[in-house]
Chain A
Amino acid sequence: MATEELEAIIQRCQILEEEDFKGEDFNLFQVACQKCLEEGYAVKVLEVFKNEKNKVIVKNMGWNLVCPLVRCILSYNLEDEKREHCLSILDKLVQLCNPKELLLGLLEQIEQASGEQISQTILLLLQPLQTVLLKFHSKKSYSVGLSLSTILNQLSLLPVPYTKEQIQEDKLGLCKCCSAVVGFAKPFVDQVVQSVEASTESDVRELKEELLKFCLKSLKYPLLIAQLDQLHEDVEEDPLRHFATEILDILINIGELMPIMFSHRGSRNQNWNNPHFLDMDRKHSADSLACLSYLVFVQYFGIDCFPMVFSPSYLLQCNMTHIEVLLKRTEESVLTKGLDLLGNCLLRNGDNSLHHQYLEFKGFITTPQDLVKVMTLCPIEHLRKKSLKILQLYIDKFDAEGKYTLFRCLLTTSNHSGVEGYVIQNIKNQIDLSLKKANGCKWFTGPHLVSLLDLVLLLPEGSETDLLQNSDRIMASLNLLRYLVIKDNEYDNQIGIWTELNKIEQNFLKPLHTGLNMSKTHYEAEIKSKKENRRVAHNSQTVCSVTVGGEKMPNMTTEMQLQVLHSALFTFDLIESVLARVEELIEVKIKNVTDKNIGGHVKHLMS
């Protein structure tokens, strides 16, 4: 019997002094305890542990007994009184055992847990772990850091709950663990805060650094991934949002919020020169800092501690690095953070207030390109829409020359007909604005505009261009051209379109005619053959298959194919009609001028 074995060993050991113990005694004791626990005699073990006389042998058993003990606790139901006994044993262990050994034992348990047991283990052991750590007198910072990073590493294995329901359910316990960890860290934060002014002891400094690392790591996961927008005006606060405020509070309390927010611009303070810290993977801290910026500027966490004298354009500039990091990712919540942060920083600036030379700062020219990528490639619709909205905001904030540069850049880099169409529409609006002003802006009239139009009024691959693919762009270009022909007075050529007509004819209108003719013939022939095929063979052989996002779409029936072909033809007709209208306008206006010139000429001759 396990209990008897244990009793026997105890009898033998109680009379021994510490130095008289032999290795085998410990082994026997451990095996016996383990057996008792496994067979459900926790009460017996507890009894042994409570007995003052057994102090000596218990003292050295910390590491060995943690594992079976934790296993037992997790296996019992919450109401089971055996669980209570085990918990009491754990308390005893924490009281009596060598803290260093116990620390390792506890961390080992946390590290080894997997699946649903991760959060259970953490929630169970945080309290004992904290007690053990507080027993360390000096040199505790390393152990605190080790504990925090072990816990966060384990938490990073848990998926972040996303919807409101998921958060409430908190199936794998991530939210509970997050709030527990904050409680766990609290006494250490307090220690740092209390000694912030008093001392520069290396231990406190190290502890501060460990806490800082903990905060940065939490920002990267789970906070970066978490959806932190306040979804509803709920009384009950979202636990992850709460966690975010707690992390910010820690940063503020240990006096590191400002230094790390400005670490990238080089105003390092003294504690920042620690090489150990600089070794930290830079990429990791880039993610963390981006999340931090989002929390401060979009969610206003800790904004009270942020200086209110920075200019809005400078804030945009500082945040651009973070925005870049966020927009490069693909997760919905991260992209949302990037877009929100950019939107927030842009709204702080007045329209037309950003000097075009900001585009020369790092990130200012690549970020709109990133927005285009989100707009065209992201599978999530509301993000595509938001991205487009923010791109417009971005354009609006720049001065005329900045807009001009942006348009050039977007036209050459976007490779997407829809985006190009959108930019061309924007160009039209700018020309319109510029014409309305008394002395128009030089970037959207005259030679500058003409050189921009060179990028617009052309077919990318001449008459071979895929008109269907490029229809958005072509329609926008034709609309712009029609607008210009109507608006630009043929006599004073203010915009400069009339001297460019030849080039436009060559690069755009002529190839467009050819292209339209070729495409129409091609599609008409295709329709004809489809119809014939349908008559000849009524079977629906697969002509082509389409896959979307890796899933195969149902095969197109001949009917559907015909429909598509017809709609293509319709597009060509549309282009053709606008083209005809433009050419008609040009003709009329040119005729006016020549008539008048001839008229003048004749008059001159007659006089």
Chain B
Amino acid sequence: MTTDEATKNEGEVQAAALAERGEDITPNKDRGVLKIVKRPGTEDASPMIGDKVYVHYKGKLANGKKFDSSRDRNEPFIFSLGKGQVIKAWDIGVATMKKGEICQLVCKPEYAYGSAGSVPKIPSNATLFFEIELLDFKGEDLFEDGGIIRRIKRKGEGYSNPNEGATVEIHLEGFHGGRIFDCRDVTFVVGEGEDHDIPIGIDKALEKMQREEHCILYLGPCYGFGEAGKPKFGIEANAELVYEVMLKSFEKAKESWEMDTKEKLERAAIVKEKGTVYFKRASYRVVLTCKPPALLASRGLSPWNPEKRELAVEREGQERSTVFHLDRLMLSSFPQAGKYTQAVIQYGKIVSWLEMEYGLSESESKEAQSFLLAAYLNLAMCYLKLREYIKAVECCNKALGLDQVNEKGLYRRGEARLLMNEFELAKCDFQKVLKVNPQNKAAKSQLTICQQKMKEHNERDRRIYANMFKKFAERDAKEAGKATGERDAEKAMCEKELETQVTEGKA
């Protein structure tokens, strides 16, 4: 007998023994997956669906031939449980294991690779044998930033998730420090949870949930109520929250390909409006804390609302809207960042619908362009507020791609660049703004800021170098002094030039 045959026979004997003693763990009780515990677990806890699971394993074919082993690779194998990432037998089998347990699984082809097999190693209709050790497991980190950890209590149906704009019907319970602060059934649109005092983390998590799913969400402050907290619920600033959420049902928003151009344009108008509402609500907080009416009037072009037209509208409806927002503000002072994020969601929809649209009629194309332009400009504004300057610049670039001499686009790009300390580029942008519209006061003052910052920067550099080479500096003090004098003179010249520009502008 050759060694090959020996191992083969041995394999078969083992297989038969396993098949005899194994416990059937399939839900259908069809003996498709049999399990034998080789070493019981050290703890009683089993992993939950969606958990990140760490295992070591070894896989053999019925003839005893090893086809795979994580130990050969010298690192544990990691996967998400119950998500269809692995063969069915594994999703079923590993879910039954306890931490530290070692077990053997016998998997019929229907629970493994079926008739297709898995080229090149697993033949068609193969029964597979595994030995698995469950090393560890932990909750699913939804965005890989530790901000939202999910543990699924009951798995949902299918693979479909609510998308942005979907209408969801959920039951939620909010906990903080062991106290339940919110418990209700609520129906809302994903991305607009803010309207219902639901933190952005829930919106984000819902996009990864399935119908009928019941889960626990651990939210970090940036996905919760943030810096502002939520007085209405008695939540202080930067609080960590725990929510239990049940997604009862949802209706998806249409995907881009399901809509024709007309529908996209109609929706773009609605969504733009929504975005603007969020954006303004975000700005109101700032405005109100600054005692608004007088301030608004005095600064016709506040940085939060650079559009005169919008401002006029606000002032017309001032009484009502101010009161309304004051109320909301006192009830629940919104986290500022939250609403810019929500506005970004709305404007982002316009981009996703219209950016790649082609084959439009002339009038449609014009309309689409104007929506896109507005969306990019507003996105830029939101990103500025969210301090994501690189994204802001990207959006401005896209806007300027549509309209080279767009005043707002240039201005906002300048602003973003200034905040990134790219003074030269920022200066260029503001100068371009003034070329387009010499009356733009804000751009003028930004230019001055640019100059100042450049100066400060230079001075700081000089100080650093001065410290570093103190000796040299002392030796060359005389010359350096002269140089500084020269440079100051140059700056004075620049400023003078700028002043003349300003006066010219006024004239």
Query: What are the residues of chain A within 8 A of B250 when measuring CB–CB?
Result: none
Query: A310 and B113: CB pair below 8 A?
Result: no
Chain B 68-86 against A: per-residue CB contact (8 Å), 1 yes, 0 no? 1010011101110000111
Query: B78 and A309: CB pair below 8 A?
Result: no
Query: B87 and A361: CB pair below 8 A?
Result: no
Query: A308 and B67: CB pair below 8 A?
Result: yes
Q: Which chain B residues in 459-498 approach chain A with CB under 8 Å?
A: none
Query: What are the residues of chain A within 8 A of B163 when measuring CB–CB?
Result: 360
Query: B68 and A360: CB pair below 8 A?
Result: no
Q: Known A-B contacts: A300-B120, A348-B113, A350-B115. Give 11 more (CB < 8 A).
A: A303-B121, A305-B73, A307-B70, A309-B59, A309-B68, A310-B79, A314-B84, A314-B86, A355-B159, A360-B159, A415-B359
Bound CA–CA A348/B122 (angstroms): 11
Query: What are the residues of chain A within 8 A of B116 when measuring CB–CB?
Result: 312, 347-350
Given that A348-B116, A360-B161 are known contacts, is A308 also in contact with B122, CB under 8 Å in the complex?
Answer: yes
Residue in B70, B85, B159 whose CB lies within 8 Å of A361: B159
Query: What are the residues of chain B within 8 A of A350 when measuring CB–CB?
Result: 114-116
Q: B294 an interface residue at 8 Å Cβ cutoff?
A: no
Q: B118 an interface residue at 8 Å Cβ cutoff?
A: yes
Chain B 358-371 against A: per-residue CB contact (8 Å), 1 yes, 0 no? 01000000000000
Query: What are the residues of chain A within 8 A of B90 when measuring CB–CB?
Result: 309
Q: A14 an interface residue at 8 Å Cβ cutoff?
A: no
Nearest A-chain residue to B87, judged by Cβ: A311
Bound CA–CA A355/B210 (angstroms): 14
Query: What are the residues of chain B within 8 A of A305 when measuring CB–CB?
Result: 73
Q: B188 an interface residue at 8 Å Cβ cutoff?
A: no
Bound CA–CA A413/B261 (angstroms): 12
Bound CA–CA A192/B367 (angstroms): 58
Query: What are the residues of chain B within 8 A of A308 when measuring CB–CB?
Result: 59, 67-68, 118, 121-122
Q: Which among A258, A312, A365 has the highest number of chain B CB atoms within 10 Å?
A: A312
Query: What are the residues of chain A within 8 A of B74 when measuring CB–CB?
Result: 255
Minimal beta-carbon separation of A287 from chain B (angstroms): 21
Q: A8 an interface residue at 8 Å Cβ cutoff?
A: no
Q: List 16 A-B contacts (CB under 8 A).
A: A267-B78, A268-B144, A303-B121, A305-B73, A307-B73, A309-B87, A311-B85, A314-B85, A348-B113, A350-B116, A355-B159, A357-B159, A358-B159, A360-B160, A360-B163, A415-B359
Query: A357 and B160: CB pair below 8 A?
Result: yes
Question: Sorted from nearest, which 10 A-B pairs have the closest CB atoms?
Answer: A357-B159, A308-B68, A357-B160, A314-B85, A357-B158, A266-B144, A309-B86, A300-B120, A311-B87, A348-B116
Given that A314-B86, A348-B119, A361-B159 are known contacts, is A307 also in contact with B144, CB under 8 Å in the complex?
Answer: no
Residues on A lying within 8 angstroms of B by beta carbon are 255, 258, 266-268, 300, 303, 305, 307-314, 344, 347-350, 355, 357-358, 360-361, 365, 369, 409, 412-413, 415
Query: B144 and A309: CB pair below 8 A?
Result: no
Minimal beta-carbon separation of B359 from chain A (angstroms): 8
Query: What are the residues of chain B within 8 A of A355 when measuring CB–CB?
Result: 158-159
Bound CA–CA A344/B77 (angstroms): 24
Minimal beta-carbon separation of A151 from chain B (angstroms): 30
Nearest A-chain residue to B259, judged by Cβ: A412
Bound CA–CA A349/B119 (angstroms): 11
Query: What are the residues of chain A within 8 A of B122 when measuring CB–CB?
Result: 308
Query: What are the residues of chain A within 8 A of B121 when measuring CB–CB?
Result: 303, 308
Minimal beta-carbon separation of B51 from chain A (angstroms): 14
Query: What are the residues of chain B within 8 A of A412 when measuring CB–CB?
Result: 257-258
Chain B 255-266 against A: per-residue CB contact (8 Å), 1 yes, 0 no? 101100000000
Query: What are the residues of chain B within 8 A of A413 when measuring CB–CB?
Result: 257
Minimal beta-carbon separation of B279 from chain A (angstroms): 28
Chain B 104-123 against A: per-residue CB contact (8 Å), 1 yes, 0 no? 00000000011110111110
Bound CA–CA A360/B67 (angstroms): 33
Residue in B88, B115, B159, B359 whose CB lies within 8 Å of A311: B88
Q: Which among A303, A344, A360, A361 has the highest number of chain B CB atoms within 10 Å?
A: A360
Query: What are the residues of chain A within 8 A of B79 when measuring CB–CB?
Result: 309-310
Bound CA–CA A360/B258 (angstroms): 12
Query: What are the residues of chain A within 8 A of B175 when measuring CB–CB?
Result: none
Bound CA–CA A516/B139 (angstroms): 65
Q: B181 an interface residue at 8 Å Cβ cutoff?
A: no
Minimal beta-carbon separation of B104 from chain A (angstroms): 14
Residue in A309, A311, A348, A365 whose CB lies within 8 Å of B77: A309
Minimal beta-carbon separation of B75 from chain A (angstroms): 8
Minimal beta-carbon separation of B391 from chain A (angstroms): 15
Q: Which chain B residues in 152-173 approach chain A with CB under 8 Å?
A: 158-161, 163
Q: Which among B74, B79, B122, B255 has the highest number of chain A CB atoms within 10 Å?
A: B79
Nearest A-chain residue to B110, judged by Cβ: A350
Q: Which among A268, A309, A413 has the highest number of chain B CB atoms within 10 Å?
A: A309
Query: B86 and A258: CB pair below 8 A?
Result: no
Bound CA–CA A255/B119 (angstroms): 23
